[in-house]
Structure formats: structure tokens, C-alpha cells
Amino acid sequence: MLVLVAPGQGAQTPGFLTPWLDLPGVEDRLRAWSDAIGLDLVHYGTHADADEIRDTAIAQPLLVAAGLVSTAALGAVTPGAVAGHSVGEITAAAVAGVLTDDEALALVRTRGLAMAEAAAITETGMSALLGGDPDVSVAHLEKLGLTPANINGAGQIVAAGTLEQLAALAEDKPEGVRKVVALKVAGAFHTHHMSPAVDALAEAAKKLSPADPKITYVSNKDGRTVAAGGEIVDRLVGQVANPVRWDLCMETFQELGVTAVLEVCPGGTLTGLAKRALPGVRTLALKTPDDLDAARELIAEHS
């Protein structure tokens, strides 16, 4: 069984959309979305530097657009399940047919702007903890006033909080943690610091007409599959201020009988986690159009 996954913020790199513009219709599609949401996706995906695309209000629509463009380039594909990490959940919702592509881009534009505004209230950030025992790490983070915002499995937890709290973490790592790595994100996402963004997203969600998913949808909230479109949208709204449980998502993949994981553009992060947490499962990261043939072969073998 194939699971299609979509990455979250931090996966973007300068120029990562450039090779995709060579595919027929991609630039036109990106420009149409750009006009609709008031953000030049072509510019930011091709010419902007790392600091520009680190901006939450830019990064989030850029990632969803990239995920949808790369998925469309695969042609007709019906994976056994779909999931996204953080903002990648919006990509997953569109792939599953819960939202239209246009609805997904409108929602993520609101999400990015609202989370950027919430992040500006207090200087906050996120750092990844590599290695260590999860229970020990979580207790240590709570002692420092930090939130385990992403529990990713495969020995990785992402802490979120104020810059002062993250500095204290860098000086005082939990026992067994090999390394603390500051992430290229502009806020403490999936924590109480994002609570102001929930209201804005809830208001935007009222304009949507969600359908029930056509593909099994696995939620970040608790790793459960969700069969009602309305509930998926409710979870997308609340998730901005609550932890991502990617570890539980991968446990569900196992329960569903996963044999392959395909990560849409800009792939790499989630397949890396899958390689460590799901031994024996084939993985492929769709980074450029050069990866499309291999991705189609994977789909043919495992769908």
C-alpha cells in the first residue's frame, strides 16, 4: 500500500520550484493561484532567497502550491492513504478531495498570514531534538517552559517557545539527546503562541464547502483516520495551536499495511523519518521532475 505525504514548513529551499516551470501548464497554474491569493508564487519559488521564503506568510502557500503541482504531474494516482505534516495537511486535504485546489490555496494564505501575525507578538522559534528518550525529553522541555510541538517519531521531537527558552535548551539538552538544531521557521507553531490564528482560520473555514475524503486521510492531531470532510476542516483549524503527532501518523500507516511512502515536492524530510521509523518500507522524495518516472514506478508497484 502506498501512502502519499506532504511536507511542512522548513522544507522549502531557494529556487525549488524552478524546474517544475518547465512542465506544461505549471506556470499558468501558479500564476492563476498567485492572482487569486495576492502572492507571487512564481517569484518566491524561483528567485527569492532563503530569508524571503522563511516568512511564514510566504512559505506556507508556496509549500501547498508545490505539493499540488507535483502531485498533478504524477497523473492519475490513488494512494491507499494521504497525510501531511503541519501545513502539509492542507495539501493532503486537497489531494483527498476534501478541498478544491483553489480552496486549499485560499485557506493556506489565511493560515500563513494569521500565523505570521501571531508570531510577531512575541519572539519565538522552534528547535529539533535529535536522539534521546521521548518521555525524558518531553519532561525536560516542560521544565523549561517549552512545548513539544512536533513529536515526529524516529528519535525526533521539535521544541517550540520563546527565543530565551530555546537558548536555555541549547545550553541544557535533555539526557541522551545528541543535538539541538534551530529550525528555519519564524515562530512557535503548534503551541499556545498561535492561538490568535485559530479565530482567523475558523472564520476563513466558514467559506469552504468540504467534501468527505475520497482517499483515507490520516490526521496530525492523533494519527487517526478521519472520514468526514467537516471534521477534517475543524482539525485543520485547531491544529495550528496544537502539537503535530507525526509519530502516531506513522503508526497508523503501519496498521494500514504501508509498503511505500511517496513524499511530494519539496520532498525529503518525511521520507527521512520514514526510513528510520518504518524499516522495510520503500520511500521516495519527489524533489524535481527528474524524480517523476521513479515515482510513477513506485505508484505502479504499490498502489
**Residues forming a β-bridge with 81:** 3, 216
Cβ count near 255 (within 10 Å):
10
Q: Which of 85, 127, 137, 190 is catalytic?
A: 190
**Residue 90 in contact with residue 40, Cβ under 8 Å?**
no
Cβ count near 42 (within 10 Å):
18
151 grid coordinates: 513529536
**Residue 161 in contact with residue 188, Cβ under 8 Å?**
yes
Q: What residues contact residue 300 under an 8 Å CB cut-off, 6+ apart?
A: none
Q: What residues contact residue 168 under an 8 Å CB cut-off, 6+ apart?
A: 144
Cβ count near 288 (within 10 Å):
17
Q: Which of 70, 86, 127, 137 is catalytic?
A: 86
Phi first, then psi, for residue 235 (nearest 5°) are: -70, -40
**Residue 263 in contact with residue 8, Cβ under 8 Å?**
no
Q: Where are the extended beta strands (E) located within 80-231?
A: 81-84, 124-131, 147-153, 156-162, 177-182, 216-218, 225-226
Is residue 86 part of the annotated active site? The answer reads yes
Cβ count near 268 (within 10 Å):
15
In angstroms, rounded to a whole number, what is the distance separating the alpha carbons of residues 163 and 172? 14
Task: Look at strands 2-6 and 260-263 and give their pairing.
Answer: parallel
Nearest to 243, CA basis, from 155, 122, 161? 161
2 grid coordinates: 502506498
Residues designated as active site? 86, 190
